Amino acid sequence: MKFIKSIVFILIKTACFGQSATISLTLPDIAYIALAPDNSAFNLVGTSSSQAGGSITFTSNTTKWINFTSAVALGVTRTITAQITSGSIPSGMTLKLTISPVSGAGSGTRGTNVSTINLSSSTQNIITSIGGGYTGKGSGNGYNLTYELVITNYSQLRAGNTSLSITFTII
């Protein structure tokens, strides 16, 4: 009887044969940065007081946002730097750049901002520890930038116009 059972087992057993295919997916490093809404120029205009002895005040600009997309390998982080790459700040003044914390529709590891720097021709870190992530696109997404001119020495002020270029780099 046991013999019969084993025959039945052989009858329903199936033969197997296999093949395999390897699929590889490579996700590349990505490091893209843009200014929103655009990288057009803007003016910081000084206005003198209507009162004799009053201070000069400058308009500030908060219209620019840093957008980026970043993909990194294991253990890698990125930094965004800011630097004046053409022109120079008039004597007696400082150009302050304030970076607000990230906001908007992004996702991932979007880094940590420094609060305020005085812009110069040297590169300075403004956002660090960026991993894989994206900020969202357009104004209202990413890191908002505030530019302010501050008078540090009235005796050095001269009337005139000055143009500067500021370059942001993601590395």
Binding of residue 23 to another protein (CB under 8 A): yes
**Binding positions for another protein, 142-171, rule CB under 8 A:** 142
Specify the stretch interacting with another protein by CB under 8 A; choose among 55-63, 93-101, 106-114, 119-127.
Answer: 106-114
Least distance (Å) between residue 132 CB and another protein:
5
Coil, helix or strand at residue 123: coil
CB nearer to another protein: pick between 69 and 119: 69
- Candidate list 80, 102, 111, 133; residue touching another protein; CB under 8 A: 133
Coil, helix or strand at residue 97: strand
CA separation for the pair 9, 76 (Å, rounded):
58
Measured CA distances, 143 to 21, 53, 103 (Å): 45, 37, 7
Tokens of 34: 């843009």
Neighbours of 93 (CB within 10 A): 19
CA separation for the pair 123, 82 (Å, rounded):
6
- Candidate list 63, 108, 117, 164; residue touching another protein; CB under 8 A: 108
CB nearer to another protein: pick between 71 and 89: 71
Tokens of 32: 């893209």
**Binding positions for another protein, 45-74, rule CB under 8 A:** 67-74
Q: Which chain residues interact with another protein by CB under 8 A?
A: 3-4, 7, 10-30, 32-34, 36, 67-74, 76, 106-109, 132-138, 141-142
